[in-house]
Amino acid sequence: MAPTVTQDAVLSDAQIADLAQQLRVDSVRAADAAGSGHPTSSMSAAELIAVLLARHLHYDFRHPELPGNDHLIFSKGHASPLLYAAYKAAGAISDDELLTFRKLGSRLEGHPTPKIPWVDVATGSLGQGLPIGVGVALAGARLDHLPYRTWVLCGDSELAEGSVWEAFEHAGMEGLDNLTVMIDVNRLGQRGPTRHGWDLDAYARRIRAFGWHTIEIDGHDVQAVDEAMTAARDNRGAPTAIIARTRKGRGVAAVEDKEGKHGKPLPDAEEAIRELGGMRSLRVHVQEPEQAAEPKRPADDPDARLPRYDKGGSVATRTAFGEALAAFGGLRGDIVALDGEVGDSTKAGLFGEAHPERYIECYIAEQELIGTAVGLGVRGWTPYASTFAAFLTRAHDFLRMAAVSRSDLNVVGTHAGVAIGEDGPSQMALEDLAMTRSLHGSTVLYPCDANQTVQLITAMAERTGISYLRATRGNTPVIYGPGDAFPIGGSKVLRSGPDDQVTLIGAGVTVHEALAAADMLAEEGVKARVIDLYSIKPVDAKTLREAAEATGRFVTVEDHHPEGGLADAVLESFGNGHPMPLLTRLAVHSMPGSATPREQLDAAGIGATAIAAAARKLAAA
Amino acid sequence: MAPTVTQDAVLSDAQIADLAQQLRVDSVRAADAAGSGHPTSSMSAAELIAVLLARHLHYDFRHPELPGNDHLIFSKGHASPLLYAAYKAAGAISDDELLTFRKLGSRLEGHPTPKIPWVDVATGSLGQGLPIGVGVALAGARLDHLPYRTWVLCGDSELAEGSVWEAFEHAGMEGLDNLTVMIDVNRLGQRGPTRHGWDLDAYARRIRAFGWHTIEIDGHDVQAVDEAMTAARDNRGAPTAIIARTRKGRGVAAVEDKEGKHGKPLPDAEEAIRELGGMRSLRVHVQEPEQAAEPKRPADDPDARLPRYDKGGSVATRTAFGEALAAFGGLRGDIVALDGEVGDSTKAGLFGEAHPERYIECYIAEQELIGTAVGLGVRGWTPYASTFAAFLTRAHDFLRMAAVSRSDLNVVGTHAGVAIGEDGPSQMALEDLAMTRSLHGSTVLYPCDANQTVQLITAMAERTGISYLRATRGNTPVIYGPGDAFPIGGSKVLRSGPDDQVTLIGAGVTVHEALAAADMLAEEGVKARVIDLYSIKPVDAKTLREAAEATGRFVTVEDHHPEGGLADAVLESFGNGHPMPLLTRLAVHSMPGSATPREQLDAAGIGATAIAAAARKLAAA
């Protein structure tokens, strides 16, 4: 067994090589104890991580909250054994804990998550670490003005993901010289050889074309890795990619550079450990960050005023979103806004005009939009990311992973539903409620009025998890006063009486259709209750149950496909034995074409006339 | 008014320049008649399309089904006025029809869709035309062995989308010299200037790095455009990108190269038409394709046999999928399989071993995976695209648009739910049922058994629209015989009796948990009906209503988040006034970590014990 190195020692090249072997041994041991995991993908990057820990990372494991700490993101999250082995070498976890890898209750999961205090974001869906790393680096360079560096470890396979190229483009154009990506080119993906194998230059050419500095090295040569990291730190004006030729399963002949060895423990762990030179118990002293580093945050302006709209006016909820966010950005210096090159339409551009230094233009790259927002959130900023609701589907996997990351993220999708009119189905979000409701721990809001939008936009910032607000393109009547309250999880009963026969439930644009339908019905003597269900998740079960008891009949109406949206949310209230009302669900069943907003609502059968007809029939049932 | 050119005339450069002006005039007129639309984005690309029509495209508008026809994909779908103006110039539509643009009932929608016989796929969500074009070109080069060319018109803004770079990579590596992308670099996006403005070389550098041939030109110079297209046709071994410097709104001073003129009619259409030289009625003769061109298709092998599994065995549904697909590929020569570099795990690799010429490795690029599949479908191939179900969320927007394209697409997602075990939440699909159910016209299947999987995999090929099958990682008992029938829209009642007190409803892995729970309950004297709801959409309303009438109490259990999945599908059966049963919904409410599959099911409360407990409580209610 090699000698234990004390915390203060500076490791020589030979000792770092030894440390790399220890990281391999511990990766093998962790996967062996678990009976699963990715030791071979860990072994290829051992020198990269050993050199980083020993010479370049600045991080205080006792105080992960320090603003000056560097950030290390394992984009190739399946190499988690290597990360956990590094934590052990840094003295952050014990050997006993290392061996809880992948076991029930252990924070050392198959892929890293922020259950671990030193993990910024969950990884394991490939191609997400770099987009998020861009957000973290951007916060340091442009917002926090802090000297920390962001280091991202990528695999070679994941460079096939377009999201990675969105990130290369964004970081290159921003000139983020505080960002380094280390690409572990071990030539073998899960199924077999990657597209480019060991053609390092194929990667370098592409990445350089996007404005990055690139360095190609032998990733098992400690000195070469060290020099590359030094060069990356010294390079100014552009981010650096260290493209390292490595061998998967390096150091163990039974698996080294062999196909079919991905994602499984080594066939003979004991023999492998012997081959790697046996157990070691090296401790590495990771350099501390600048303790006094403090982020620069714009001051809150308590005199800023949220917009107020006059009842009886007509304002688009997207406009109210933009105006509210711009004002909210005055009230709170931690608010940042990001948009996908449609800020003139989403109205996020109004925030950009008021607070240009806190407005991030992400161009038409929705994965990078959400990834950057998550990265800014890592540094404690409160992000609002917006684009057309339809195009948020582009970032579904990033939203899914943001939930695993326990990210507090505000997302606004405008131009929802058929109500946009002439542009046609490619621009219509008709699946966004299903998508956002299904995200773990999410909040889903859908205002029908400008004052309601203002309240909900500010309330989102107080929620944990992913909060989504759906906004409408066209003007809708202002039916609430600026002082009205709209608690998340609540609803508004807009019409009700003791002898209501049916309840009409809408949100957003369909609230106004439901009100018009109630007027039509009233003329015929049919009494309809009307509920504005602006909080789709969590849903106001109490009010819905009361309405079910009182009327026994529901008509739900939504500008969304029938599956996964408002009607399904309503029915949630009737789980666990609560008797359900009779229900007619109106939604967009057909494929829309082009037409005016009014024609669209009628063609889809979610306009006032259709609602009244459905209610009339149900009330008579 | 300029003279009408007869169908047979070959246009001179000057006449083509005139044709380009006509396309501009007609774009302005169409948008003006509609009161909305994108004339300025059309005007920048007028010479590109005029030259293509007059000199390079081979297309028979009377016979769009001809295999030898070229393919023209307007990735910048918002330039639809230009496309429709081109159809008019080619004699395919009348001037009267042109002026129905964006009106209710017109096939000339705001963004092109295959309602129009000459449109292959819907566009309008940017960054999708090239990925799909790669599929179309790949079909010609590698499968059909046909001489057609694929031409894709892209905007500059959309090059920010990562999906475009997935496509550049795929096409570059495949050496698709039958594919040409024309990039209309008009420098202005929707909100304002693009990232690279008129820096053509910024685009060329990037695209060349991905193995493409690039040509930079003045996009308003007819001769330059013509030479570039000739070079693109002559270039061998690599696809070509024509990078054209253009001016948005070209030809009309009020809008030319001006910000704030995106997506709206021209301020003064009459004046604009005058400025463009007035109305013209040129007809362009588009060259006909090789009439005799016939695709080469592998012969069907009627002797191929689908796999059969013995009852009582234990087989993963993903394995049954792979074995079934490999066999089905023998039975039918039109089947192609695509996978995202996980074919060893999804088992699509078994198809690859059996039919290597029909297996497309898309690497870890799920948008390109679905885009390529849609493109192969354009050419009449029957694609099955597979990856881990969790990572299909990456392609949500492509799936959404495939529905608008009326694409017949088979998608298989494996490793669903917490049942995967130790890998943890990043690898667990817990949102896929919500996502796929919400797609317009989709079919959603979730088998619990190997023989059932075989039946459903072959049945998918007969469905229109997007069909999704969810498969499980671990082995599950074979409970059905190879001869059992599983019609889509059906279900299997596995346990039932005249005095059932409660109905347990599961699909996939939870069917087996429900059966075990029914056994537990039976020992206590509680009689439970058990339904295998393998068809999530369409759902078997009749059987569910009968069970509701008979038992009045449902326990639904799904390995999915509570929103948008099986429980919501079950409740669909009770719309329109059908009285609903009491319901307890079991689903994955918490964020999973790592654990064994058994521990995961129990921790999530969807294992047999939890089902029995819920049923016991509900039966007593």
Q: Which residue on chain B is closest to A169 by alpha carbon?
A: B160
Q: Which residue on chain A is closest to B155 by alpha carbon?
A: A364
Q: Which residue on chain B is closest to A34 by alpha carbon?
A: B422
Two tokens, residue B485: 């029938």
- Distance CA(B72)–CA(B137), nearest Å, equals 11
pLDDT at B3: 43
Mean pLDDT (chain B) is: 96
Q: Which domains does chain B have, with CATH numbers?
A: 13-275 (3.40.50.970), 314-477 (3.40.50.970), 492-619 (3.40.50.920)
3-class DSSP string for A178-203: CEEEEEEECCECCCCECCCCCCHHHH
pLDDT at A579: 81
**What is the nearest CA distance from B615 to chain A, expressed in angstroms?**
11
Q: Which of B161, B574, B575 sits opposite A364 (nearest CB)?
A: B161
Do residues B190 and B171 lie in contact, with contact meaning Cβ atoms separated by under 8 Å?
Answer: no
Contact: A563, B564; criterion CB under 8 Å? yes
List the beta strands (DSSP E) in A106-246. Answer: 150-155, 179-185, 213-218, 240-245
Q: What is the CA radius of gyration of chain A?
A: 27
- pLDDT tier, A5 (very low <50, low <70, confident <90, very high otherwise): very low
Residue A536, φ and ψ in degrees, nearest 5: -80, -30
Contact: B161, A163; criterion CB under 8 Å? no
H or E stretch at A339: strand A335-339
Q: Whole-model pTM?
A: 0.98
| Predicted confidence (pLDDT) at residue A195 exceeds the cutoff of 60 | yes
B260 to chain A: which residues are within 8 Å by CB?
A: 344
Edge to edge, the sheet with strand A71-74 lists A71-74, A150-155, A179-185, A240-245, A213-218
Burial A270-279 (b: 16+ CB within 10 A, else e): eebbebbbee
CA distances from residue A197 to A187, A222, A243, B495 in whole angstroms, order as listed = 4, 22, 12, 54
Contact: B596, A173; criterion CB under 8 Å? no
Q: Provide the 8-state DSSP code for B426.
A: G
CA distances from residue A557 to A442, A584, B566, B611 in whole angstroms, order as listed = 22, 9, 21, 33
Give the distance, in angstroms, between the CA of residue A73 and the centroid of all CA atoms in the same chain.
15
- pLDDT tier, A181 (very low <50, low <70, confident <90, very high otherwise): very high
Contact: A426, B435; criterion CB under 8 Å? no
pLDDT at B534: 98
Contact: A364, B577; criterion CB under 8 Å? no
Contact: B110, A594; criterion CB under 8 Å? yes
**What is the nearest CA distance from B167 to chain A, expressed in angstroms?**
9
Q: What is the mean pLDDT of residues A282-311?
A: 93
Do residues B403 and B464 lie in contact, with contact meaning Cβ atoms separated by under 8 Å?
Answer: no
Contact: A426, B102; criterion CB under 8 Å? no
Half-sphere exposure of A150 (CA within 13 A, CB side): 31
CA-wise closest residue to A409 among A455, A440, A446: A440
Contact: A423, B565; criterion CB under 8 Å? no
H or E stretch at B174: helix B162-174
Contact: A363, B195; criterion CB under 8 Å? yes
Half-sphere exposure of A235 (CA within 13 A, CB side): 24
Model pLDDT for residues B439-458, shown as the tens digit of each residue? 999 999 999 999 999 999 99
Contact: B583, A574; criterion CB under 8 Å? yes
CA-wise closest residue to A133 among A82, A168, A103, A161: A168
Q: How many residue pairs bridge chain A and chain B with CB atoms within 8 Å of each other?
A: 354
| Predicted confidence (pLDDT) at residue A292 exceeds the cutoff of 60 | yes
- Distance CA(B58)–CA(A112), nearest Å, equals 53
Residue B380: which region, alpha, beta or left (left: phi > 0; alpha: psi -120 to 50)?
left
Do residues B98 and B54 lie in contact, with contact meaning Cβ atoms separated by under 8 Å?
Answer: no
Q: Which of B103, B205, B364 sits opposite A157 (nearest CB)?
A: B364
Do residues A125 and A157 lie in contact, with contact meaning Cβ atoms separated by under 8 Å?
Answer: no
Bigger pLDDT: B580 or B327?
A: B327
Instruction: Give percent of chain B above pLDDT 70.
Output: 98
Number of H helices, E strands in chain B: 22, 19
**What is the nearest CA distance from A292 to chain B, expressed in angstroms?**
36
Give the distance, in angstroms, between the CA of residue B617 and the centroid of all CA atoms in the same chain.
44
Residue B557, φ and ψ in degrees, nearest 5: -145, 125
- pLDDT tier, A9 (very low <50, low <70, confident <90, very high otherwise): low
B163 to chain A: which residues are within 8 Å by CB?
A: 162
| Predicted confidence (pLDDT) at residue B478 exceeds the cutoff of 60 | yes
- Distance CA(A135)–CA(A368), nearest Å, equals 9
Model pLDDT for residues A22-53, shown as the tens digit of each residue? 999 999 999 999 999 999 999 999 999 999 99
B541 to chain A: which residues are within 8 Å by CB?
A: none
Instruction: Give percent of chain A above pLDDT 70.
Output: 98
**SS3 assignment, position A265:** coil
B339 to chain A: which residues are within 8 Å by CB?
A: 191
Contact: A425, B435; criterion CB under 8 Å? no
B576 to chain A: which residues are within 8 Å by CB?
A: 583-584
pLDDT at A7: 46
**SS3 assignment, position A476:** strand
- Distance CA(A163)–CA(A183), nearest Å, equals 15
Two tokens, residue A214: 């690139």
pLDDT at A397: 98
What are the residues facing A216 on neighbouring strands? Answer: A243
Q: How far apart are the first and last CA of chain A?
A: 82
Two tokens, residue B112: 């092109």
Burial of A33 (0-12, 13-18, 19+ CB in 10 A): middle
Q: Which of A190, A393, A431 sits opposite B345 (nearest CB)?
A: A190
In sign, the C-alpha dihedral spanning B188, B192, B195, B198 is: positive
H or E stretch at A470: strand A466-470
Beta strand B475-477 with B314-316: parallel, antiparallel or unpaired?
antiparallel
- Distance CA(A514)–CA(A506), nearest Å, equals 7
Instruction: Give percent of chain A above pLDDT 90.
Output: 96
**SS3 assignment, position A119:** coil
Residue A519: CB partners within 8 Å, gap ≥ 6?
A: none
pLDDT at B4: 47
Best residue in B161, B399, B558 for a mutation probing chain A (most A CBs within 10 Å): B161
Contact: A160, B166; criterion CB under 8 Å? yes
Best residue in A536, A594, A602, A616 for a mutation probing chain B (most B CBs within 10 Å): A594
Contact: A575, B585; criterion CB under 8 Å? yes
Mean pLDDT (chain A) is: 96
**Residues of B noted as catalytic:** 366
**What is the nearest CA distance from B10 to chain A, expressed in angstroms?**
36
- pLDDT tier, A352 (very low <50, low <70, confident <90, very high otherwise): very high
**What is the nearest CA distance from B275 to chain A, expressed in angstroms?**
27
Q: What is the mean pLDDT of residues B414-435?
A: 97
B390 to chain A: which residues are within 8 Å by CB?
A: 125, 397, 400
| Predicted confidence (pLDDT) at residue A3 exceeds the cutoff of 60 | no
In sign, the C-alpha dihedral spanning A503, A509, A513, A516 is: positive
**What is the nearest CA distance from A370 to chain B, expressed in angstroms?**
13
pLDDT at B578: 80
Q: Which residue on chain B is closest to A595 by alpha carbon?
A: B104
B582 to chain A: which residues are within 8 Å by CB?
A: 577-579
Q: Please state, as a whole number, how many other Cβ atoms lie within 10 Å of the Cβ of residue B3.
A: 10
A113 to chain B: which residues are within 8 Å by CB?
A: 424-426, 593
pLDDT at A4: 47
Do residues B599 and B560 lie in contact, with contact meaning Cβ atoms separated by under 8 Å?
Answer: no
Q: Which of B361, B390, B599 sits opposite A125 (nearest CB)?
A: B390
Q: Which of B206, B424, B595 sits opposite A124 (nearest CB)?
A: B424
Model pLDDT for residues B585-619, shown as the tens digit of each residue? 999 999 999 999 999 999 999 999 999 999 999 99
Model pLDDT for residues B356-385, shown as the tens digit of each residue? 999 999 999 999 999 999 999 999 999 999
pLDDT at B307: 98
- pLDDT tier, A577 (very low <50, low <70, confident <90, very high otherwise): low
Half-sphere exposure of B56 (CA within 13 A, CB side): 28
Residue A182, φ and ψ in degrees, nearest 5: -110, 115
**What is the nearest CA distance from A481 to chain B, expressed in angstroms?**
32
Q: Which residue on chain A is closest to B103 by alpha carbon?
A: A595
DSSP calls for B505-561: EE-THHHHHHHHHHHHHHHTT--EEEEE--EEES--HHHHHHHHHHHSEEEEE-SS-
Q: Which amino acid is at A132?
A: I
**SS3 assignment, position B274:** helix
**SS3 assignment, position B58:** strand
Catalytic residue among A216, A366, A368, A431: A366
Contact: B394, A396; criterion CB under 8 Å? yes
Two tokens, residue A359: 């407005």
Model pLDDT for residues B326-349, shown as the tens digit of each residue? 999 999 999 999 999 999 999 999
**What is the nearest CA distance from A189 to chain B, expressed in angstroms?**
8
